[in-house]
């Protein structure tokens, strides 16, 4: 298996079969953490793509781009508010063609289709009035903002090497945007420098040494304009696909507290028109190893991941089946000490959390909301009997004592009855012969809280998700429906049905690191 690939998944295609039950023992070590994620680990993106963006003989973006999205839609407002602080990353492929309508920029044109230009579009502009509207919306909904900056401004494409952009970054337009943002009291949590310019790039690339030199300019500018370290936005980069040599070179140049978080993108399911999309397999180790070598104090972010490239796959990305990929990615990313995972997109394309036309949440939205509400920042070690169809990830419970666990059953014909055990390095009153196997079956005294996500009628390529057998449907006032757990007798095994995703919170699980 290619270790340069980032994340892995097996999705078993649904077929008619008799169901049977397997008993599984899962061991959770609660005495120490293996990683730590941000409280705003779950993140979604808003992209620049105009309506005219098309792939695979379809145009799935509609009016979901940053410049034409209807910010007054009540369902959109309520969907974000439900998170009680969702991180949103503003950016995407066209961000390195965006100028900002502040300062000396008077002419502010829209993106237009233009043959021969990057991604087939001309340079576009963010009008200051739209920036005001976006920030008012972010403030109204409690969004934590990461903004992707244009890192190609001032550069030109090399005459001798196609796709390579050379020259120093012109920072003046970004400076003017930041000064305007500060003057209006708008809050930006972090700035990400450029989009997919690392390694071979996507459409355009910049050499690592040049990128590192320019990101130092950005960091110094942020420090100058935000002198208070407590309110100073973080600087992120390079926001591209992982290339070991390129990332090595960048971090050697900018290791001295310049890049606050190392960001990369993942589209490990390949193109959206791949007929074998539902069976892709890859691996999670590359970026983690590089970051741990050069900047172990920072941690990495997945700042964009939609599974399938170029808008996603219309018959998979917006369906229940996509959750087998998405929630496994959240689990793996958190285990590998990634602080944030940004889903491409909140709205727009086929891979959105919200339907691009109706704004109604797709199945992955509800699972993402449960992760945000239940899974705390401390990640615990989990081991289980070797069964590749059952994925298990455990964290300290969010804001409360105990632990929260997510189970992902990729099998279409097996239910797993899970018994939990705890693991401690030492325990009093053990006989010497017991010390080599410090594993103890967990006995709870309280009811546990369970959230079972399943597909309506068992159709994993449908767009209706059930929570504890109740369809998740918006209320008459376009609010997100209640997502209450069912309370289960803790003396019974945890039943994880075929093709289901289950969250479980146990308040009295003995996990010292969670206290």
Task: Enumerate the domain spans of the chain.
Answer: 20-34+381-506, 37-377
What residues contact 28, with CB distance under 8 A and at least 6 apart?
380, 381, 382, 394, 403, 405, 420, 421, 422, 423, 442, 509, 511
pLDDT of residue 385: 76
CB count in 10 Å sphere of residue 326: 26
Judge: domain 20-34+381-506, CATH 2.60.40.1180. yes
The Cα angle at residue 39 between residues 250 and 342, in degrees rounded to 5: 55
Q: What pLDDT does residue 439 have?
A: 65
Distance CA 211, CA 215 (A): 6
Residue 87: φ, ψ to 5°: -80, 130
User: What pLDDT is recorded for position 15?
Assistant: 36
DSSP symbol at 479? P
Rounded distance between C-alpha atoms, residue 140 and residue 170, angstroms: 33
Q: How does pLDDT run along the chain (515 residues), one tens digit per residue? A: 333 333 333 333 333 345 689 999 999 999 889 999 999 999 999 999 999 999 878 899 999 999 999 999 999 999 999 999 999 999 999 999 999 999 988 889 999 999 889 999 999 999 999 999 999 999 999 999 999 999 999 999 999 999 999 999 999 999 999 999 999 999 999 999 999 999 999 999 999 999 999 999 999 999 999 999 999 999 999 999 888 899 888 877 765 568 889 899 888 765 444 444 334 322 333 444 544 554 445 578 999 998 776 677 777 888 999 999 999 999 999 998 999 999 999 999 999 999 999 999 999 999 999 999 999 999 999 998 778 899 999 999 998 789 999 999 999 899 999 999 987 654 444 444 444 455 677 777 789 999 999 999 999 999 999 999 999 999 999 999 999 999 999 889 999 999 999 999 999 998 999 98
Peptide bond into 345 cis (omega under 30): yes
Pair 73, 141: CB distance under 8 Å: no
Are 265 and 241 in contact, with CB atoms under 8 Å apart? yes
Answer for the pair 360, 481: CB distance below 8 angstroms, yes or no. Answer: no
- Predicted local distance difference test score (pLDDT) of residue 256: 56
Output the pLDDT for position 83: 98
Q: For residue 107, count CB atoms less than 10 angstroms from its CB and return exposed for 0-12, middle for 13-18, buried for 19 or more.
A: exposed
pTM: 0.89
Q: Tokens 């449960």 belong to which residue?
A: 370
The CATH architecture that domain 37-377 belongs to is: Alpha-Beta Barrel (3.20)
| Cα–Cα dist 150/169, whole Å | 9
């Amino acid at each position: 298996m290619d270790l340069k690939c980032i994340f892995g998944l097996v999705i078993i295609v649904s077929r008619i079969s008799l169901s049977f039950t397997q008993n599984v023992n899962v061991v959770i070590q609660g005495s120490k953490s293996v990683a730590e994620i941000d409280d705003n680990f779950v993140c979604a993106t808003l992209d620049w793509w105009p309506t005219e963006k098309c792939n695979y003989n379809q145009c799935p973006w509609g009016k979901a781009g940053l410049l034409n999205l209807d910010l007054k839609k009540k369902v959109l407002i309520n969907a974000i508010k439900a998170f009680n602080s969702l991180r949103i990353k503003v950016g995407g492929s066209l961000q390195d063609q965006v100028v900002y309508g502040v300062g000396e920029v008077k002419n502010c044109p829209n993106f237009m289709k233009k043959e021969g230009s990057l991604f087939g579009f001309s340079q576009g502009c963010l009008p200051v009035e739209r920036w005001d509207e976006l920030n008012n919306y972010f403030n109204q909904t409690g969004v934590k903002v990461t903004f992707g900056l244009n890192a190609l401004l001032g550069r030109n494409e090399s005459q001798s090497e196609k796709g390579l952009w050379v020259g120093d970054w012109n920072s003046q337009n970004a400076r003017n945007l930041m000064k305007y943002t500060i003057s209006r009291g708008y809050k930006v949590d972090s700035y990400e420098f450029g989009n997919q310019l690392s390694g071979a790039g996507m459409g355009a690339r910049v050499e690592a040494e040049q990128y590192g030199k320019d990101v130092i300019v950005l960091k110094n500018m942020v420090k100058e304009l935000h002198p208070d370290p407590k309110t100073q936005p973080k600087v992120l980069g390079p926001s591209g696909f992982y290339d070991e040599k390129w990332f090595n070179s960048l971090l050697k140049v900018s290791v001295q507290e310049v890049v606050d978080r190392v960001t990369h993108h993942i589209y490990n399911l390949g193109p959206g028109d791949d007929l074998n999309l539902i069976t892709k397999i890859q691996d999670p180790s590359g970026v983690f190893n590089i970051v741990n070598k050069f900047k172990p104090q920072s941690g990495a972010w997945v700042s964009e991941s939609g599974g399938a490239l170029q808008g996603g796959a219309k018959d998979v990305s917006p369906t229940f089946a996509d959750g087998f990929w998405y929630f496994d990615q959240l689990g793996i990313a958190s285990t590998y000490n990634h602080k944030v995972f940004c889903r491409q997109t909140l709205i727009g394309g086929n891979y959105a959390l919200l339907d691009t036309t109706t704004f109604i949440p797709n199945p992955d939205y509800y699972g993402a909301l449960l992760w945000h509400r239940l899974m705390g920042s401390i990640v615990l070690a989990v081991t289980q009997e070797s069964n590749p169809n059952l994925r298990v990830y455990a964290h300290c419970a969010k804001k409360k004592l105990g632990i929260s666990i997510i189970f992902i059953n990729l099998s279409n014909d097996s239910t797993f009855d899970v018994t939990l055990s705890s693991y401690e390095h030492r325990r009093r009153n053990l006989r010497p012969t017991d010390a080599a196997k410090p594993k103890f079956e967990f006995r709870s005294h309280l009811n546990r809280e369970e959230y079972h996500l399943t597909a309506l009628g068992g159709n994993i390529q449908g767009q209706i998700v059930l929570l504890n057998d109740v369809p998740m449907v918006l209320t008459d006032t376009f609010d997100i429906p209640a997502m209450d757990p069912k309370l289960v007798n803790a003396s019974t095994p945890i039943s994880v049905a075929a093709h289901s995703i289950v969250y479980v919170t146990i308040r009295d699980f003995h996990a010292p690191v969670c206290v």
